[in-house]
Structure 1
Amino acid sequence: MWIAALQTVATPDVERNLETARRLMAQAARDGAQLVVLPEYFCFMGHHDRDKLALAEVPGEGPIQAMLAETARRHAIWVVGGTLPLRSEQADRVFNASCVYSPEGVLAARYDKVHLFRYDNGRESYDEGRVLQAGQLPQACEVGGLRLGLSVCYDLRFPELYRALMTPPCDLIAVPSAFTHTTGRAHWEVLLRARAIENQCYVIAAAQGGLHENGRRTWGHSLIVDPWGEVLAMVEEGEGVAMAQLDPKRIAEVRAQLPALTHRRLC
């Protein structure tokens, strides 16, 4: 299966962002991708955290979800729709949800980001807990005969989430993200390669990558890693598509020569 990580530099204009997503998904599909992953917040990067509250959609309704479903159906591809804000039972909180659509345009899975990012180095600060409601459960689904594990951005720092996704083992883990430039430069690639190596599966990480209109700078470096930790494709900065082939035989080979998943003693 050919898979593609799409990199964007989202703006405060939802329709402009959706058009960018449509264009990149069409490009990936033309190049042979059967599964594409969009970045976290591909649909909106506002000036203030609370801006996303006004855009939150009801699950199963709204223009962002409709675009993802329609584009998956048009190109007959699996789409991991990065993340979008979905309404929660709390009026001042939304879920940061990653929705997976089948080639028929049907919702196959939804994962709500469990770990909420907070960071303050004295110069830049973020606290997702101000507007996001944390999800509660890991989520995996079947895509074209493969098992896909779902995660989002800051989840990457919590290996226990990925271990929970490995019963049964995943063939591929998706990590749509919007890593800051500061944390991304220090930790992004090493964490992604670690998750691939320890779980002996492919990892696909679609990221925001560049200087946004709201002044935020994201790290980018969307990439695909194989089960041995080798980086197969990468887009460093700006819009683009990182594409590689997922080979089930490679997964089996790595797990046979170094059967670490069967050697686990602590759960």
Structure 2
Amino acid sequence: MRAPAGYVWADSALHRAPAAAKLAGLLACVVLVVAADGPLALGLACALVAALAAVSRVGWRVAARSVWGLRWFLLTVLALNALFGGGEALVSLGPVGVSAEGLARGAGVVVRTALVVVLGTLLTATTRPQELVDGVRALLAPLARLGVRTEVAALAVGVTVQFVPTLLRESRQLIRAQQLRCGSVATRGIMRRAVSYVRLLVPIFVAAFRRADELALAMEARGYRLDGPPAPPRPKGGRRS
């Protein structure tokens, strides 16, 4: 059973761990993954992420779902590195060529990106949105003593965690609606497929701004303020005394 915002109900060590510790661990793991150089280091990074996914008990399908959603982006990154990565060309394609060095560099970038995405998915799948907000607030507590408005960062994290799944769901609904009206996008040519996806950007942005406006109005109606204590609620009816 899945909860909103990508949270997966399960009983694991990652679910029970404090959110601040998981955020600090995520940053450390991301640094290790990005700094991994060479097949051996990347293999160890993959083993680390696989172990975390197994401990989380959220399922491999959930952990890899975000990576599958980025498959075209990752393939594009791999192709660009293979074509323009330099080195001796194995296969020539007109003015450009596919090189072994470019393929190796592109594969490394793809693996690192996929591992970072899986780590972020594991964080949101094992941590409730409010726990994430509290974790960010706890990590930034030392900065609050220096006058930094840490509540803004905590609120941004909470809103982002809540908004991303909602926007993804609305995007899938728009894609399905377009397929019902105009047929499947996957059966078209590359250029027509790209134009179809570009046309979806406008309604997606409109939906995002509408959601943001509704959230702002709801927070204002409840008296939420970042620069002080909550304002008193407005009277529901009748005259003011």
- Scaled by the length of structure 1, the TM-score of the pair is 0.24
Q: Kindly name which structure, 1 or 2, has the bigger radius of gyration based on alpha carbons.
A: 2
- Scaled by the length of structure 2, the TM-score of the pair is 0.26
